[in-house]
Amino acid sequence: MKPRSNRKTALTPQFIELVPPELDEGVLYVSMVYGCAIHKCCCGCGEKVVTPLSPTDWKLTFDGESISLHPSIGNWSFPCRSHYWIQENQVRWAEQMSDEQIKAGRLADWVAKAR
C-alpha cells in the first residue's frame, strides 16, 4: 500500500443504533444493538469497513473514553489492502501481509467459526 497524505491516525467513537447513510471520515460508529463497528477505511480510500463483534470476529473494548478493536483490520479485498489496529482510538498502522499470510489467516478464521 502506498502511503496516503490523508491516512487517519485516530478515530472518534460514536455509539449509534443504526448506521447513518453517509459515514464521516475519522468516526468509528459502534452499534451494540446490531453488534458491529463501522468506519471509513483509515487509509483514506473511502471504502466502508464493517467489523462484526462476536467471539469469532472482532472484540471491542470500551474503557469509558476510548475504544479498541481486536484483532487487526486487514482490508485485503479492497484495492488499498490497508492493515491497521485500532487501539484506544488511535490507528496503529501494521505491516503488509503476503497473499500466503492472508490465506492462512482466513483459513484460521474459518476453522474458528466452524468450531
Hey, what amino acid is at 23? L
pTM value? 0.85
> Could you tell me if 33 and 23 are in contact, meaning their C-beta atoms sit under 8 angstroms apart?
no
* pLDDT at residue 113, as a whole number: 67
CA–CA separation, 67 and 89 (whole Å): 5
* pLDDT at residue 62, as a whole number: 97
List, for residues 28-75, the tens digit of each pLDDT value. Answer: 999 999 999 999 999 999 999 999 999 999 999 999 999 999 999 999
Largest CA-CA distance found in the chain, in angstroms, rounded: 42
Q: Following CA atoms 14, 18, 22, 28 in sequence, which dihedral angle do they give, to the nearest 10 degrees?
A: 30
* pLDDT at residue 96, as a whole number: 83
Q: Is the peptide bond before 71 cis (omega within 30 degrees of 0)?
A: yes
* pLDDT at residue 1, as a whole number: 44
